[in-house]
């Protein structure tokens, strides 16, 4: 990820919900197996730490996430504006000068 040894696996949709329902161990095992499939079996030894989250269980997101398509960086400005002065979004998604991934 961004030239580091950090790996991120996002599994969305029904498959993501099903593995999340099986718990953190199932999610991390899936991620480690994925890393091994992509980088070879020796990559498992390089995994030092893992962390799994389940957006499906979060009452504020209920599994939702979004991303803008390529070329839509202007959407970051719109996302940085409040919704009826009640809800504000923060983080990398609203950083206007951050380069696209």
Residue 66 has what pLDDT?
62
Q: And the tokens for 27?
A: 């999610």
pTM: 0.58
Residues 28-46: pLDDT tens digits?
A: 999 999 989 998 988 888 8
Rounded to whole angstroms, how far apart are CA atoms 17 and 29?
15
Task: Give the residues of the chain that fall short of pLDDT 70.
Answer: 1, 63-69, 73, 92-93, 96-101
Domain positions in the chain are 1-65, 66-101
Phi, psi of 87 (to 5 degrees): -120, 130
Burial class (CB in 10 A: 0-12, 13-18, 19+), 99: exposed
Residue 33 has what pLDDT?
93
Residue 2 has what pLDDT?
75
Residue 79 has what pLDDT?
79
């Amino acid at each position: 990820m961004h030239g580091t040894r950090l790996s991120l696996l996002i599994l969305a949709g029904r498959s993501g919900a099903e593995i999340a329902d099986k718990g953190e161990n199932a999610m991390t095992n899936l991620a480690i197996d994925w890393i091994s499939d992509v980088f070879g079996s020796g990559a498992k030894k390089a995994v030092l730490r893992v962390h799994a989250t389940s957006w499906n269980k979060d009452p504020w997101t209920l599994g939702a996430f979004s991303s803008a398509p390529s070329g839509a960086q202007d959407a970051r400005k719109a996302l940085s504006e409040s919704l009826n002065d009640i809800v504000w979004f923060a983080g990398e998604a609203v950083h206007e000068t951050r380069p696209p991934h």
